[in-house]
Each structure stands twice: as structure tokens, then as C-alpha cells.
Amino acid sequence: MSLAKIFNFGAHKIPVAHTFHVTDHCYSFVNLKPIVDGHVLVSSKRSVARLCELTEEEHSDLWRAVRAVSKVVEQVYRANALNISVQDGKEAGQSVAHVHVHILPRHTGDFTENDEVYEKLEDFEFTIPEIDSIKVFERSPNTAILLDDVIQTFRTS
């Protein structure tokens, strides 16, 4: 486990206080501009742009973390399904040149056409405003409570 106070995410800085489920090689954090409520990212700690640049150990750790985070997100958000997506390179729509996996809880009827989620991911642009509190992730009172549930699940396990 890292003792870092900040993780690099491409050119962006992610304060450790805004992360949950930190492992030896990756960390998870809540997306500030979610496509759907509960949209989270799992990223490698080491700054590499492409999946093929990860070591075997980093690659395995990333997917174990994705599985663990997915289970909690699906349960807390009472999702029917999940979109788990990697945009591996700029031409694939990667907005930050740093390996990361999007996890989006899905519900019946959340998009008119199911594949609209991919258009939203394609248009996704990552930004980090200046923030001091996890509460910046609020989208609605219910969403803030659910995000706190996800974060608490990992911080207490």
C-alpha cells in the first residue's frame, strides 16, 4: 500500500483522500463528471498510457480491483448490470493518457438506446476542479449517500 498523498492521473493530481480501494498497484476514485450516478474509475498507480505497458503483476492487480469495486458499486447502486470499459489509446477515445477502467452501474431504461453509453464515454472529458472534500461528488442527496456507502465499504474492509 502506498503512503503517497497524491496520485498522478495523467497530468491531473488525485488526492489520496478522494480515493477508495487502494491496492499495491492501483487506486479507485469517483468520477467528478459521471455519465451515470456511481461512475467510478480504477487506475494504475504507475503512469502508463496503455494496458500493454503494465507489468503482469500490475495488470492482474488492476483487474482484481475492477472486480472488487464492481461488486460493491453494483450492490450499492442496485444496478441490473455494469458497463466496464477501457479506452486503450487516444484513437479509442482515451481522454487521459493513463491506464484506467470506467465502471458504470446500469439500470433498465437509463438510456433511450443502450449503446448511447458509449457515445457518452466517447465525449467524456476528465477535469478536476479544486476540491477540499469528498462531498464535491454530490449529484443529489441520494447519490452522495450512496457514494459514501461505496467509499465506506472499502475504507472499513
What is the sign of the dihedral through the CA atoms of 47, 53, 127 and 67?
negative
Helical H segments across the chain, by residue range: 56-76, 116-123, 141-155
Q: Is 118 exposed, middle or buried (0-12, 13-18, 19+ CB in 10 A)?
A: middle
Hey, what amino acid is at 149?
Answer: D
Using only the alpha carbons of the chain, give its radius of gyration: 15
Which of 18, 98, 100, 102 is catalytic? The answer is 100
Residue 92: phi, psi to the nearest 5? Answer: -90, 0
Active site residue 100: yes
Residues belonging to the active site = 100
